[in-house]
Each structure stands twice: as C-alpha cells, then as structure tokens.
Chains A and B, each alone.
Chain A
Amino acid sequence: MTISLSILARRAGPLLAASLLALSLGTAASGAAEAPQPPRQKWSFAGALGTFDQAQLQRGFQVYKEVCSACHSMTLVRFRNLAEPGGPGYSANQVKALAATYQVKDGPNDSGEMFERPGRPADAFPAPFPNDKAAAAANGGKAPPDFSVLAKARTYERGFPWFVTDVMPFVGYSEQGVDYIHALLVGYEEAPKGMDVPEGTHYNKYYPGHLIAMPNPISDGQVTYPKTDKGEPVVPETVDQYAKDVAAFMAWAAEPHMVARKALGFRVILFLIVLSALLYYVKKRIWADVGGEVHGLQPELHKAY
C-alpha cells in the first residue's frame, strides 16, 4: 500500500502538489466567520496508549450527578456500567447502594399500576424529565440533549492538513468532542458590544452561532471534590477542572469499552505485522522456485534495457 502510494505520488508529483496547494488555500479561505476552534486539551485517554483516569471519571460523575443531571438525561448508561472494567472503578456494592438511592418507575404490577421502587444496578440512569416534550417545555422550548453518546456526537472541523494527520499513528487525534464540551463550559462570557442577545439565549464564545439556550451551568467551587487524607484538595475546584472532569466522564460514557478496544488493537496489529512478515518471506521462498518475483510495481518503466 505505502509503496504503491509513494510511486503514485512520484508519477503524479507536480499535479498533486498543485491540487494540495489549492486544497490548503481553499480551507484557509473558508472557516473564517465561524466560532473559534476549541482549544486542544490534554486528555489521559488521547492517543493509542491513552486510558481513562479513574479518579477523574469519578469526579466527572460527581459533577454530572450534582449539576448536569438536573436537566440532562443519560439514558443509555446503566448503574452497573459504573462498576465495569475500564470505567470509573466503583465496586459492585457501591453501585448497588448508589442505585438504591434513586426511585425508579416500574410496572405495571398485578393490579395494572405503575409503581416506584428503589433502583437496581441493571437500571438506566433515571431521566430528569418523563419525555422529550416535557424536557423542552421546561427548558424554554429546547430539550437539553441526552449525554449518553454526546462526546462522540460533537466535534469541530480542524481543516487541512490536520484532518490528514489526525488519523495517523503517533500524531493522530480524535478528542475533538471532549475539547468542544470543555470549551463550551468555559466559553460563557460577556457578549461583544453591539451584539444582540435575545431573551432566553446566552452568549458563548465556542457555541456555533454564539447564542446558546443553556445558561452558564456551573461556577467555581460549586462542586466539592473529595480531599486527600490530609484534607488538601487533589485538583482545583474550578469551572475549568469541572469541565475537564465531566467531559472525560462523558467520553467514557460514550465509549465504555475504549480501554479494552485499544488493548486488543495492540495485540491484533502486532500479530498482523508478524504474520505479514512471515508471509512475505514465504512468498519470497516460493517465488524463488521460478526465478524470483518481479520487483517494483512498474518494472517496465524502470528497467534500463
């Protein structure tokens, strides 16, 4: 593959160069008027080696539980997920106790009535509103989006050439969603002078179009994080930190098997590399019987005869 591409590039060299130039110019000319790009953050789970930081996921869950869950549902996440490997690392008993603090609607029972009972680990996180219409009605006409896969549902364009490098090993990047969520939470500020901010909307630097229905949801010190044994804070209790923690938690919620996925990926790719190396030599040995294989892709073009 790579060999063939490099040969292609050589043969089509000048043309490709010209078209790439055109591409980059075009990109520079376009995304000017849009919202600024969310600043890139450091995430423990970025890159091929990245894994979730358990303490951060627990803090993020705390922020979700104490602040966001008042309006945002997370219906695809079950309590039991919190105790599954690769996640926030709660114990099965902690999850059982946590689930039991919620009242969950169940039924119908034998007399045909719905009833409430304490939550079980198998239950989904209860939603703050019974349905989308109720959520919209209670929030000025726009339902707060569900958080379950939101970290994968939000992104921003990084443009050329980043969209090429973002997919590559070592320099790759796929954390645009959490960057955006973090930026949105820290992006509330005074509207620039002369900008009309209608009733029911709020100015946000990073929201596309800048006018977001959600008021600034969180402020410094609003959530009290667990302290160390000496009573010292582990991380600052600031909006910036809350935003990072809740975004990380949402990344886990959207992709609960990420750690297992990357771990398996390493083994699979290593295996495939070894197997193709073996196959390459097998092929060489076999072709030696008929005087060796043709080398290069286009011997006709390179042979000096």
Chain B
Amino acid sequence: MEFSTLANPSATPSTAGDASLHDGSRRDFLFLATGAGLAVGAGAVAWPLVASMAPDAAVIAAGAPIEVDLAPIQEGQIINVFWRGKLIFVRNRSEKEVKEADAVKMSELIDPQADSARVKKGHEKWLVVYGNCTHLGCVPIGHSGPYDGWFCPCHGSLYDTSGRVRRGPAPTNLPVPPYAFQSDTKIRIGEEGPKEGKAAA
C-alpha cells in the first residue's frame, strides 16, 4: 500500500495551490528514491531470513570426510555408512559380478555408464554408491531383483551390481560419492583423492 503510493506519485491528490512544491522532476526523484529505499530495505530484511535456513556452520563442519575400513567386509557383503547424513552402500563384489557388470552393453542401459567409470582403478571389486533410489529417495534392498543388484520396494526400480538402473521409474544410476583409497583396505569418503582429481581434469 505504501509502495504503490510512493512509487506512483500521480495517485496523490494534486489540489494544493502551492506550485513550487509540484516541481515535477524533483518530486518524482524524491518519491522514486524513497520507494527504492523501502524496496532495498525489504530485500535486506529478507536476506538473513533466507540465509539462516541454509546449512549452518555446525552442520557444514560435521560434514567433514570420513574414513571407512574395508578389511572386515566379506566378499558379497554390503555395508551401510553415513556421510553428511546420507546413506552410502559399500559393496565388496565378487570377480564374477565385476566381469558381468563390465560386459553389459551400453545400449541395454537406461543411463549408460561403464562399470569402470563407477569404481576406482585397481580396486574394481569395491562399489561405493549413495544408498537412496534416484526416483524418490527410498532405500533399495540389496542382493535382490533379477540383476542381483538392488530392488527398490517403493516403486519397483531395479539396479544391477554396479548400481546402474535397469528398470524404471528411477531415471538415473545410483550416484557415486566423492571418495579415494587411502590404502588397499581404507577409503576416505568426502573428497576425491589428488590422483583421481587430476585424471578427471
């Protein structure tokens, strides 16, 4: 209500006799500057409100990389870890599973991606993927479905042993989080190692 009045000086009555106060351009400028000032003020008030809803310093600090020891994970086993509150599957795949995953033709895939692009070189048996279905975020059940990958109980999406989607409604493969091998039995989830970073670039 104030804005419309101020931004639109013609809406104010103009019956007064004092002509000097109706010096058009000066009056317009004053009204425009004030209207702009009020608008800037309103924006400045909105900014901290919106910013305060973003992840706070404690949440960001708690999202630091985590280390996962792979030694106790048996072949065929899938373990759950959490990073930044998100579920991550770490799967120790058998040699047969790796070979089969590698042999799949790209044309068969909904979201074509080679198995080798989803694992770290030299550590092909370790699959590390986010554990939420790319459809609407349910947790798929491991070692189930015709591809022996994952089956999502919510809407029936199927994933293979590489975490690639094989049947919808999920649109994309389970994404791979940033991680790097510290040693043969230890990974660090949360940032890419220097080597992989360079290779990607």
Do A and B touch (CB < 8 Å)?
yes
The answer to whether A80 and B61 touch (CB under 8 A), given A278-B34, A282-B31, A289-B14, is: yes
The 8 Å CB contact of A291, one of B16, B31, B37, B57, is B16
- Chain B 100-113, CB-CB to A under 8 Å as 1, else 0, gives 00000000000000
Q: Least Cβ distance of B78 to chain A in Å?
A: 15
Residues of B near A282 (CB, < 8 A) are 6, 30-31, 34
- Are A275's CB and B16's CB within 8 A? no
The answer to whether A78 and B61 touch (CB under 8 A), given A274-B37, A285-B27, is: yes
- Are A275's CB and B38's CB within 8 A? yes
Q: Least Cβ distance of B33 to chain A in Å?
A: 6
Q: How many residues of B contact A (CB 8 A)?
A: 23
B62 lies within 8 A of chain A by Cβ: yes
- Are B34's CB and A279's CB within 8 A? yes
The 8 Å CB contact of B61, one of A122, A272, A288, is A122
Q: Least Cβ distance of B107 to chain A in Å?
A: 42
A170 lies within 8 A of chain B by Cβ: no
- Chain A 254-272, CB-CB to B under 8 Å as 1, else 0, gives 0000000000000010011
Q: List which B20-43 residues lie within 8 A (CB) of chain A.
A: 21, 27, 30-31, 33-34, 37-38, 40-41
A290 lies within 8 A of chain B by Cβ: yes
B12 lies within 8 A of chain A by Cβ: yes
- Are B37's CB and A290's CB within 8 A? no
A205 lies within 8 A of chain B by Cβ: no
- Are A289's CB and B61's CB within 8 A? no
Q: Least Cβ distance of A61 to chain B in Å?
A: 19
- Are A275's CB and B41's CB within 8 A? yes
Question: Mostly helix, strand, loop or mixed at chain A's interface?
Answer: helix
Q: Least Cβ distance of B3 to chain A in Å?
A: 12
Q: List which A127-146 residues lie within 8 A (CB) of chain B.
A: none
A59 lies within 8 A of chain B by Cβ: no
- Are B13's CB and A278's CB within 8 A? no
B15 lies within 8 A of chain A by Cβ: yes
A305 lies within 8 A of chain B by Cβ: no
- Are A120's CB and B64's CB within 8 A? yes
- Are A278's CB and B61's CB within 8 A? no
A286 lies within 8 A of chain B by Cβ: yes
Q: Least Cβ distance of A172 to chain B in Å?
A: 24
A177 lies within 8 A of chain B by Cβ: no
Residues of A near B56 (CB, < 8 A) are none
A121 lies within 8 A of chain B by Cβ: yes
- Are A286's CB and B38's CB within 8 A? no
In the assembly, what is the distance between CA of A285 and CA of B20, in Å?
A: 10
Q: Least Cβ distance of A291 to chain B in Å?
A: 7
In the assembly, what is the distance between CA of A275 and CA of B34, in Å?
A: 7
In the assembly, what is the distance between CA of A268 and CA of B37, in Å?
A: 12
In the assembly, what is the distance between CA of A120 and CA of B62, in Å?
A: 10
Residues of B near A275 (CB, < 8 A) are 34, 37-38, 41
- Are B30's CB and A289's CB within 8 A? no
B184 lies within 8 A of chain A by Cβ: no
- Are B34's CB and A289's CB within 8 A? no
Q: List which A231-288 residues lie within 8 A (CB) of chain B.
A: 268, 271-272, 274-275, 278-279, 281-282, 285-286, 288
- Are B21's CB and A285's CB within 8 A? yes
The 8 Å CB contact of A122, one of B38, B41, B44, B64, is B64
9 example contacts (A-B, Cβ-Cβ < 8 A) are as follows: A78-B61, A121-B61, A268-B44, A272-B41, A278-B37, A282-B6, A285-B21, A285-B30, A286-B12
Which 10 pairs between the two chains have the least Cβ-Cβ distance? A122-B61, A289-B16, A278-B34, A288-B21, A275-B37, A282-B34, A80-B61, A289-B13, A122-B62, A278-B37
